[in-house]
A and B are shown apart, each in its own frame.
Chain A
Amino acid sequence: MAEKSPVKEAASSESIPISNSNQLKPSPQLPSKFSSQTAPNSEVPSTPTSRPPSADADVVYVPSYSRWFSWDKIDSCESRFLPEFFDGRSASKGPSLYIYYRNSIIKLFRENPSRKITFTDVRKTLVGDVGSIRRVFDFLDHWGLINYSASSALSKPSKDTGSNIKSSDSPSVESPSSAAPTSKHSSNSRRICGACKSLCTIACFVCDKYDSTLCARCYVRGNFRVGLSNADFRRVEITDEAKADWSEKETLLLLEAIMHYGDDWKKVAQHVGGRTDKDCVAHFVKLPFGEEYLGHPLSNDHESGFETNKRMCLTPLADASNPIMAQAAFLSALAGVEIAEAAAQAAVSVLSQVDDITASRVGSGSLERNSKRESEISSNGDTNQNALERAAYADANSLLDKEEQDIERAITGITEVQMKEIQDKFLRFEEMDLQTEKERQQLESMKNLLFIDQLNLSFRRNYT
């Protein structure tokens, strides 16, 4: 369908009517195609506040930032904004499909330029999946190639559905309005997600390319603009930013309060003021040990820290269902970390020695390997927990190996017995063989004797 109406080009806030001969919007690099009128017109500096002449139905306005558009060609910004058609991932979704969508949408709009076409009109008439049609539609809408009428040239074009667009090519009108929100973003310590406009609490994702911020939910759902991918975002933790900005004064108050009130965190919280007791405890635990704070008793910190450590150590094993393990845990906790570790190591090494002796008798290599492993494991020990676990592990391993050995022995015994059986059979067969041989020889000799007797008889008969 040839485009019959001439096209006029409009700058973002001003408009320059440019008439054209039956062809779309000229690019200055191809002057030969177009009438000579266009060249001088496009170079004319626009009068800042000229309004478009009363638009006739045949004239279509295109903003100057969409200068690149042509029916047959694909511009680089199109391939950048809509990469799905150009990355060759699927055979059928190629540039030709994109051109089909784009041209059909624009044709549809230009049939009646004074009326804004809606996405639903478009997608009802185009064959394809609605997601990609929507993206092309949004792209064209944003760049003013459709739904761009003289009236909207006056007002700033409305923001799109929520993704921030900050590329350098984007329409100049957009950039001042969008630059303002970004400065707001960076000035606040509180982050507001660009897509869903909600406060970011735990973590947010920042894209440096386009300087946009997304909350975790939007990032996960992929609610960012099409040109970006997951890798462009980096994670920024916020949890501690807003909440735990403990100032020096607050920390001092906290420490004073602890000195006075000891373990009564409610009073401490009162003294600090503005922090709950849980916050105080949490912050206190995170404080580094005393050297930075002058005039503060070291022992308190150390002991309390140690106590919490011990308490933490006891709990994992203390409620083990195995009473022996529970006792061992209790004893090791009482004895202390290094002692328990040493005891466990000694136990493991003795176990491995015992295993070594039996291994040398039987001669299997697996035990040696195992003991080596055990000693390796025990040499890596840090806490008493780990040492105990390793001792149990070594026990289990040695039991397993003993069973293995038993099984091996049984198998070798069985095979020996069978071999003996076969040997006996061989012997018996050999004896039988000998006997039959003897019998055969006897029979032969008897046959010979009989033959001689027969001969004698026949001779005697012949002679008489």
Chain B
Amino acid sequence: MKSPASASWKAPLKFRMPTAENLIPIRLDIEVDGQRYKDAFTWNPYDPDSEVVMFAKRTVKDLKLAPGFLPQIVQSIQSQLATFRSYEGQDMYVGDKIIPIKLDLQVNHTVIRDQFLWDLNNFDSDPEEFARTLCKDLGIEDPEVGPAVAFAIREQLYEIAIQNVTSARENRISKKGRRAAEHFTPSKASGAALDLMKLFSFRSSVVRKRKEWDYYKPVLDLLSNEEVDALEAKEERSGR
């Protein structure tokens, strides 16, 4: 049973990723001399700075990229780290929030679409663990899907955490009192959170309604080579 949102306003915490490990998602999309390098991975912001250069060097060497990629990779990673650090000292409000996380990924030959609920207040949550279990349960053979799933989850959590920080900042700037902040957070919460209160009230049950089953089921597709090529071509066209 959930208590009403206004009574459960929590004191603002320092910004961090709402997961057990404070790891941030890093996305790279660099084009040099006609060669395009797209990548997405998780990074530990507490690693020393030398780590960035080492990682970039190894990536360039392993993937046999042109040496012009090296400074760009380093710069991109460092700027994303700096953005994270700029948020780091600030407060974020965390109200009662269960948010839906959507996955819509295409990794090599596997397409996965899924939607599930994630508790933002659970600072012990582990997207990596979730991704590993998901891949094992669905019997996904391609080992590259796991990291992609974990990354997608982290990215969405990161976005929402940033939104919380900016909403906290706006509250302070507009000098609204405590009351207003309380009202603010539930109203800012996505519609899903409010609906959940109705769901979890004493009148309805916790078991999901049948018609919603389809929304919350993972969908897994294996594509053939032609479909993969077709998708890539479509992406490039839309990119242009």
Which A residues are closer than 8 A to B by beta carbons? Answer: 90-93, 100, 104, 118-121, 123-132, 134, 161, 195, 218, 221-223
B58 touches A118 (CB 8 A): yes
Question: Roughly how many angstroms separate A343 CA and B126 CA in the complex, as a whole number?
Answer: 72
Question: Roughly how many angstroms separate A92 CA and B150 CA in the complex, as a whole number?
Answer: 14
B44 touches A118 (CB 8 A): no
A131 touches B62 (CB 8 A): no
Which B residues are closer than 8 A to A by beta carbons? Answer: 20-21, 23, 41-44, 47-51, 54-55, 58-59, 61-63, 124, 126, 128-129, 131-132, 143-144, 146-147, 149-150
A127 touches B50 (CB 8 A): no
Task: Say whether, besides A93-B21, A221-B49, A127 and B128 are in contact (CB < 8 Å).
Answer: yes
A223 touches B48 (CB 8 A): yes
Interface centre among A92, A118, A127, A223 (most CB of B within 10 A): A127
Residue on A with the closest CB to B46?
A131
Which 5 residue pairs spanning A and B have beta carbons closest together? A222-B48, A118-B62, A125-B143, A120-B62, A223-B50
B50 touches A92 (CB 8 A): no
Question: Roughly how many angstroms separate A223 CA and B59 CA in the complex, as a whole number?
Answer: 19
A125 touches B131 (CB 8 A): no
B62 touches A218 (CB 8 A): no
A119 touches B58 (CB 8 A): yes
A129 touches B23 (CB 8 A): yes
Collect the chain A residues with CB atoms within 8 Å of residue B147's CB. Answer: 123-128
Residue on B with the closest CB to A120?
B62
Task: Say whether, besides A118-B58, A118-B62, A127 and B48 are in contact (CB < 8 Å).
Answer: no
B21 touches A130 (CB 8 A): no
Task: Say whether, besides A124-B147, A130-B42, A222 and B21 are in contact (CB < 8 Å).
Answer: no
Collect the chain B residues with CB atoms within 8 Å of residue A132's CB. Answer: 44
B63 touches A120 (CB 8 A): yes
Task: Say whether, besides A93-B21, A120-B58, A221-B49, A130 and B43 are in contact (CB < 8 Å).
Answer: yes
Collect the chain B residues with CB atoms within 8 Å of residue A123's CB. Answer: 41, 147
Q: In the complex, how many residue pairs between chain A and chain B have their CB atoms under 8 Å apart?
A: 80
Collect the chain A residues with CB atoms within 8 Å of residue B50's CB. Answer: 195, 218, 221-223
A129 touches B43 (CB 8 A): yes
Task: Say whether, besides A92-B21, A124-B147, A131 and B44 are in contact (CB < 8 Å).
Answer: yes
Contact of B21 among A90, A124, A125 (CB under 8 A): A90
A134 touches B54 (CB 8 A): yes
B20 touches A91 (CB 8 A): yes
Question: Roughly how many angstroms separate A90 CA and B147 CA in the complex, as a whole number?
Answer: 20
Collect the chain B residues with CB atoms within 8 Å of residue A90's CB. Answer: 20-21
Task: Say whether, besides A134-B58, A222-B48, A129 and B42 are in contact (CB < 8 Å).
Answer: yes
A134 touches B55 (CB 8 A): yes
Chain A's nearest CB lies how many Å from the CB of B144? Answer: 5
Collect the chain B residues with CB atoms within 8 Å of residue A222's CB. Answer: 48-50
Collect the chain B residues with CB atoms within 8 Å of residue A131's CB. Answer: 43-44, 47, 51, 55
Residue on A with the closest CB to B58?
A119
A127 touches B132 (CB 8 A): yes
B146 touches A92 (CB 8 A): no
Collect the chain A residues with CB atoms within 8 Å of residue B61's CB. Answer: 118
Residue on A with the closest CB to B60?
A120
Collect the chain A residues with CB atoms within 8 Å of residue B41's CB. Answer: 123, 129-130
Q: List 23 A-B contacts (CB under 8 A).
A: A90-B20, A91-B20, A91-B124, A93-B21, A100-B132, A118-B58, A118-B62, A119-B58, A120-B58, A120-B63, A125-B143, A125-B146, A126-B146, A127-B128, A127-B131, A128-B150, A130-B44, A132-B44, A134-B54, A195-B50, A221-B48, A222-B50, A223-B48
Contact of A127 among B49, B54, B146 (CB under 8 A): B146
A127 touches B150 (CB 8 A): yes
Collect the chain A residues with CB atoms within 8 Å of residue B149's CB. Answer: 127
Residue on B with the closest CB to A93?
B21
Contact of A129 among B44, B131, B143 (CB under 8 A): B44
Question: Roughly how many angstroms separate A90 CA and B21 CA in the complex, as a whole number?
Answer: 7
Question: Roughly how many angstroms separate A290 CA and B143 CA in the complex, as a whole number?
Answer: 78
Chain A's nearest CB lies how many Å from the CB of B73? Answer: 12
